[in-house]
Amino acid sequence: MATARQEIEVGVPPAALMAVLVDFAHYPDFLPWMKSGEVLRRDGPDTWEVRFGVEVIRPLVYTLRLEREGERALRWSLVEGVFRTNDGAWTLQPTNGGRGTLARYDIDLQVGSFVPGNVLRSLVGRDLPDLLQRFRAEAERRAGA
């Protein structure tokens, strides 16, 4: 099992960052290891079931249930795929009088029998700062910040 928590300051309001976080189909545009983000089902305006395809040493496919809590949090849990568990959340806190965001990313992954440990370490540890930097850059690019 691997758990990680990381924070990053983003120069856009929480709503602008949340718009990027829930734009699953466009993840491959700014996350080079992400090959697909397909919404399989939507339950109301704030809940999605999304199948993700990633290329981290080898192709991996998994489905998450994601639930948005206003503009302040996006939580997920594993529906099916190559992991035993994949639970986590983005938590967004306004900063700079609402013009910025402190974004916290939490993840708890447990590998399935077909995922090597080096893939898990890559997903949770080494690549996490890059993931946050890429979401920040995309949110700021979209906002023209």
pLDDT digits (tens, 9 = 90+) for 95-136: 999 999 999 999 998 876 655 666 655 555 567 889 999 999
Spacing of C-alpha 92 from chain mean position: 13
Of 138, 111, 134, residue with least CA distance to 123: 111
What is the predicted pLDDT for the residue at 28?
98
Q: Which segments of 31-113 does DSSP mark as H helices, in order?
A: none
Q: Which segments of the chain does DSSP mark as H helices, in order?
A: 14-21, 27-30, 117-121, 128-143
Domains and CATH numbers, the chain: 2-143 (3.30.530.20)
Q: Which of 5-9, 29-33, 94-98, 125-129 has the lowest mean pLDDT?
A: 125-129
| pTM greater than the 0.85 cutoff | yes
